[in-house]
Amino acid sequence: MLNIKELELSDLEANDVRDEYIYYESDSSDYRFQIAEDEAFYLGSQLTSAQKEYLNSVGQPAEANNKIRPAVEQVLSNIAGAKPEWDIEPLGVMDGGLAKVYNQLVDKIWRDSDGDVQFRKGCKDFLVKGIAYMYVYPDYQGDGGLGGIRVKNIKPESVFVDPNSTLPDFSDATSIIISDLHTKESLKISFPEFAKEIDEAEEDFYRNEISSGNYNKDQVYTAGDIGNDSQPKCRKFIRFSKISVPKALLTESISGKHKVYDKEEYKEIAKDKRYQKLLDEGAVTEDIIYETLVRETCVIGDTIYYDEVHPINEYPIIPACNEHTGTPYSASDVRHAKSPQRMLNRTEALIIAHTNATTNFKLVVEDGAIDPGELQKWNIPNAVIRANPGALREGKIKEFAPPAVSSQLFSEKQRYEIDIEQVFGAYKYMQGMASESPGTVGEAQIVEEAVSRKQNWKVLPIYDMLTRAGKIAV
């Protein structure tokens, strides 16, 4: 007879979850700043305060010519314009009816979750921030209070992963924490039975989002730029970890058929004398096996609200890493485009500054050569200007203009733009600029084929994420 131990969950206090969150948050602080800067570059906030001050001090425009956003939007129009759906395929001849039921079920989950909206948001996070998350969760208040399964996109800034994870799906992480800031009033709507505890919870005002601090003359705001208001807030933590649950594996010796039972089911079978006889005769063998399940713990403030074990084997928070680096901190396409974008901004600042210098030339006038009032007419077209006799002949009035700008600057500007387009595979003619189209139809087909292969390969992690989310949902 097997001795299956009771499932004992390790003691977990609210402070344990908070301490783990602080550890994960501090380890990922630089990475989350990079996410903030990637988003700022996409939105056009590309100059630091020091760069702005320097450009203004040398008479150059503190502006950015944002080529990243149109490239990102071109890729998004290709990959996020689709309407994905889950499809359950029957394995056996008699599975068609069951597959049809499951297809209707997952279609309802996708529809009730506004799946297309969640998919588009995930694609944008994938390109701009380098990672997208899809969260499968039970909505206990859905369907008029009857409950239901939902999926939604989670902002990367709200997910904190064990930094020791090396797999692209984070399945080897010790734990994953979703943590975000809520007003207490909104939490009481989600957890009405814990309204008193929420009112007494410790207040928190620190957002997950970080401000890049970059300058944008047009004042584009992100969540990290928004200040705190007077509403009381507190932090919610949802921690996922994996546990091993012991079970009994019973195998029929002759046929090899087997079945798995949990502790309670095995106890009932073991009471049957016929089973004991089969066991003594060697007709049945039994072994202890372990199944990996997911434990979910919810903490608000200093209180654990629930601590449950779910009948799933994988974390319900599923990532799609743009460029996985063997860490939970993947890189984005925008991050690779930031360097040529900086060089493009610098080159255009030089070109504009030179143009201003040629149109606003310097005039050197010897004292007494011309009346100061006449100098005001110098830039007026067709103006009649009176100078003192001999002033021009004797060179007492001289006009200085800078040499013509080098054509190399314009070549460099074009090269940086192409570098950005190559990162995304979004060339100008694909963005609607007919003047930049290839010379022949054959050349256009070659480019479009290369771009399609690149973007189709790039989007594979997103569809892998959706596939895993569908498996967890059903």
Strand partners, 248: 261, 288
The mean predicted confidence, pLDDT, of the chain is: 86
> What pLDDT is attached to residue 360?
65
pLDDT over 90 at 340, yes or no: yes
3-state secondary structure of 297: strand
CB contact set of 397 (below 8 Å; sequence gap of 6+): 363, 364, 365, 366, 369, 370, 387, 391
Helix (H) or strand (E) holding 277: helix 273-281
CA nearest 387: which of 402, 409, 372, 405? 372
pLDDT digits (tens, 9 = 90+) for 375-406: 777 667 677 777 777 777 777 777 766 777 77
Burial 381-395 (b: 16+ CB within 10 A, else e): eeeeeebeeebeeee
> What pLDDT is attached to residue 429?
73
* Residue type at 299 in one-letter notation: V
CB contact set of 278 (below 8 Å; sequence gap of 6+): 284
pLDDT digits (tens, 9 = 90+) for 139-190: 877 777 788 899 999 999 999 999 999 999 999 999 999 999 888 888 888 8
pTM, to two decimals:
0.84
What's 81's DSSP letter? Answer: S
pLDDT digits (tens, 9 = 90+) for 343-366: 999 998 888 887 777 766 677 777
Helix (H) or strand (E) holding 473: helix 460-473
Tell me whether strands 233-252 and 284-300 are parallel, antiparallel or unpaired.
antiparallel
Helix (H) or strand (E) holding 418: helix 407-424
Residue 413 has phi, psi (to 5 degrees) of -60, -45
| CB 130, CB 321: distance < 8 Å | yes
> What pLDDT is attached to residue 4?
63
Q: Please state the separation of Cα 153 from the chain's center in Å.
A: 10
- Which strands make up the sheet holding 317-321, listed edge to edge? 148-154, 131-139, 317-321
Chain position carrying tokens 């106890």: 267
Burial 245-271 (b: 16+ CB within 10 A, else e): ebbbebeeeeeeeeeebeeeebeebbe
